[in-house]
Structure 1
Amino acid sequence: METTNVVTAGRVERQNVTFQRDELTIAGHLFTPPGFDEELQYPALIVQGAVTMVKENAPDNYAPLLAREGFVVLDFDYVSYGESEGQPRKNENVEGKLKDLQAALTYLQTLSYVGKIGMVGICTSGGNAAYLAATDDRLTALAAVVPWMYEPALEEPFWGSETIEKNNQKAQDARQRFAQNGEWLTTQIFTNDPMVEGFNLTPGEYYFDKHRGGSVNQWRNQIFWGAWEEWAQVFDPISQAPKIRIPTLVFSTDDALIPDQAKKFYNLLNTEKELVWSEGYHFNFYDVAPEIYKAIDAVVPFMQKHLADS
């Protein structure tokens, strides 16, 4: 584990940090609050973003805002993304991302000034956070912000049998080629044109705008073709909801992606829970005011309540 290059943003400090998972180095940013004192203890949050996002996307927008409220905040590049190690690159893997999040918990627990730990999962990471909350009792509270609460039953209505069959074959071919010679076949994770290949057909303004997500040099609109089945047939945060036993906040809107799935996830929770139904367009919650502040205003009191020392 390493920390380097302290960057001051107002009175919030950011450090570049690394930690390990299965002999792979994961790169992250650690934010500490104003007036930070290593002799004290602080509630901590892991903040992660949408599919293929790197830490410089939405996570780095949320993290300093949360740190200003008194939290130690960690965001990082999942294995195979950004500055983190791992092959094949840009590979979605449900179990792998769970291991990454568990490694982040382990890293935070090595810091003497960290107390209870929660997670804020934005979009797809809301689903990844559900896996963490369902399996690791070191996590104290969960907040899912405009979460992509997918389930495999949506595969057919989303993509149709013809596309699924074609993509399954491409995924199998990609995995074989990588295993044989390390060849790495990719496609776009997002496409806004039905004539252009990609996993998800979406307006995706945040990603295609060169002044927003498209301006983040560390991010690429790419995904390993071999990850298709993980994305469309394995990822199932809905199945994790009944297993969760920690306080959980679900924050979404009618104009978020698959909002009915967020409600379904919430209804399946058998634990202390809170639903905040706000207003705003999904992609604006990554980087636009007032939407991002609406999410922060919901997350902060929830986490302050549940991460406070008892």
Structure 2
Amino acid sequence: MRTQDVQFQNNDITMAGILFFPEKFKEGVKYPSIVVVHPGGGVKEQTASVYAKALAQQGFVTFAFDASHQGASGGMPRFLDDPMRRVGDIYSAVDYMTTLAYVDDTRIGALGICAGSGASVKAASTDRRIKAIGTVSAVDVGAAFRQGWDGKGKIADQLKTLDAAAQQRTAEAGGAAPVYIPYVPAVGDRSAPYDLQQAADYYLTPRGQHKNAPNKMLLTSANYMISFTGFDRVETLTQPIMIVAGTKAGSLWHSKALFAKAPGKKDLALIPGATHMDLYDGPGVGLAMAKLTPFFTRTLA
């Protein structure tokens, strides 16, 4: 498959992305396109590229990119994760796609995976250039930080995290070194939720490991995470949406909440027996694509 490494600007940050082209790509033709947004802690070369490639094989020009402050994209400090900045990343990615002569800027869609879904929903709720949106194993990271992976977290847990972030901010203001926390637990940590055990197997082993995804996030990112709400603007999310999730995913409550709130044409496609991470690679991608391909073909036709 033809691909192209590119850079684009997000204000003063230089972003890194990969374009994927359909097999029979022709110059002079305008194509529907899809921006693919990677999970938290991930980079464009992982599951985002898996889906970008699969969608390109269906006739779309697709674009996977690294979030600002992460991967091969610029931005300081490194390993900051601010979900609202990710929303801005998506705006800028769409900006870039509209400048390409072979992209039909009236037929641009977005696909978010895991935390990329929350940012994509937020972006699509406020950027009308995004004409259709898909989610895979959706997660609103703000809700996850506030309520825990299973949605049952308590206010006391939030306060503990916020107290730690406050102390660290004061320490760093005084010259202390930054402190990082992991996205996923260590491989073999059976105390973690099953989805996150599987996430460790994906991100920390050859299955999906990438040198640009070192499983670290600034502790001070917690302030931005807890204050983020990915689904709070859904009253303006009138574009059609396809929500794909596994029935065994501990994160399924996010997809159900999104489906309940979305006011436009919507579909919740449940993959029987699939966990959150089952849809990142392997056979799970084909099951998700069986839902996403007809959806994007119909809505971006």
State TM-score, norm by structure 1.
0.86
SS in 2 for 1:51: coil
Residue matched to 2:299: 306
Q: Per-residue CA shift, 1:62-102, capped at 9, x if unaligned?
A: 11111111110101110010111111211111221111000
After the TM superposition, which of the residue ranges 267-276 and 252-261 deviates more from structure 2?
A: 252-261
Q: Per-residue CA shift, 1:217-248, capped at 9, x if unaligned?
A: 111111110011222x2222232322201111
Residue matched to 1:98: 87
Kindly tell me: are residues 226 and 153 of structure 1, through their superposed partners in 2, closer, same or farther at Cα, counting changes over 3 Å? closer
Within the candidate set 264, 271, 281, 2:275 is matched to: 281
Q: Is contact 1:56-1:218 (8 Å) kept? A: no
Equivalenced residue count is: 291
Gaps of 5+ in 1: 1-11
Residue matched to 1:169: 163
Instruction: For residue 303 of structure 1, report the CA deviation from its aligned partner.
Output: 0.6
Q: Is contact 1:149-1:258 (8 Å) kept? A: no
Residue matched to 1:133: 124
**2:227 aligned with 1:237:** no
After the TM superposition, which of the residue ranges 114-123 and 235-244 deviates more from structure 2?
A: 235-244
Residue matched to 2:6: 17
Q: Is contact 2:246-2:275 (8 Å) kept? A: yes
CA RMSD of aligned residues (A): 2.3
Residue matched to 1:85: 74
Q: Is contact 1:241-1:266 (8 Å) kept? A: no
The one-letter code sitting in structure 2 at the alignment partner of 1:247 is P
Residue matched to 2:111: 120
Residue matched to 1:9: none
Q: Is contact 1:149-1:265 (8 Å) kept? A: no
- Distance in 1 between residues matched to 2:17 and 2:176, nearest whole Å: 26
Instruction: For residue 153 of structure 1, report the CA deviation from its aligned partner.
Output: 8.7
Residue matched to 2:216: 222
**2:283 aligned with 1:294:** no
Gaps of 5+ in 2: none
Instruction: For residue 209 of structure 1, report the CA deviation from its aligned partner.
Output: 4.6
Percentage identity across aligned positions? 26
- Distance in 2 between residues matched to 1:299 and 1:201, nearest whole Å: 22
Kindly tell me: are residues 13 and 122 of structure 1, through their superposed partners in 2, closer, same or farther at Cα, counting changes over 3 Å? same
Within the candidate set 125, 145, 149, 2:136 is matched to: 145
After the TM superposition, which of the residue ranges 186-195 and 278-287 deviates more from structure 2?
A: 186-195
- Distance in 1 between residues matched to 2:232 and 2:133, nearest whole Å: 16
- Distance in 2 between residues matched to 1:264 and 1:128, nearest whole Å: 15
Kindly tell me: are residues 54 and 150 of structure 1, through their superposed partners in 2, closer, same or farther at Cα, counting changes over 3 Å? closer
Residue matched to 2:242: 249
State TM-score, norm by structure 2.
0.89
**2:202 aligned with 1:211:** no
Q: Per-residue CA shift, 1:181-231, capped at 9, x if unaligned?
A: 4833211122254889xxx99312434551212x31111111110011222
The one-letter code sitting in structure 2 at the alignment partner of 1:188 is P
Q: Is contact 1:242-1:269 (8 Å) kept? A: yes
Q: Is contact 2:195-2:249 (8 Å) kept? A: no
After the TM superposition, which of the residue ranges 109-118 and 273-282 deviates more from structure 2?
A: 273-282
- Distance in 1 between residues matched to 2:250 and 2:15, nearest whole Å: 29
Q: Is contact 1:206-1:284 (8 Å) kept? A: no
SS in 2 for 1:88: coil
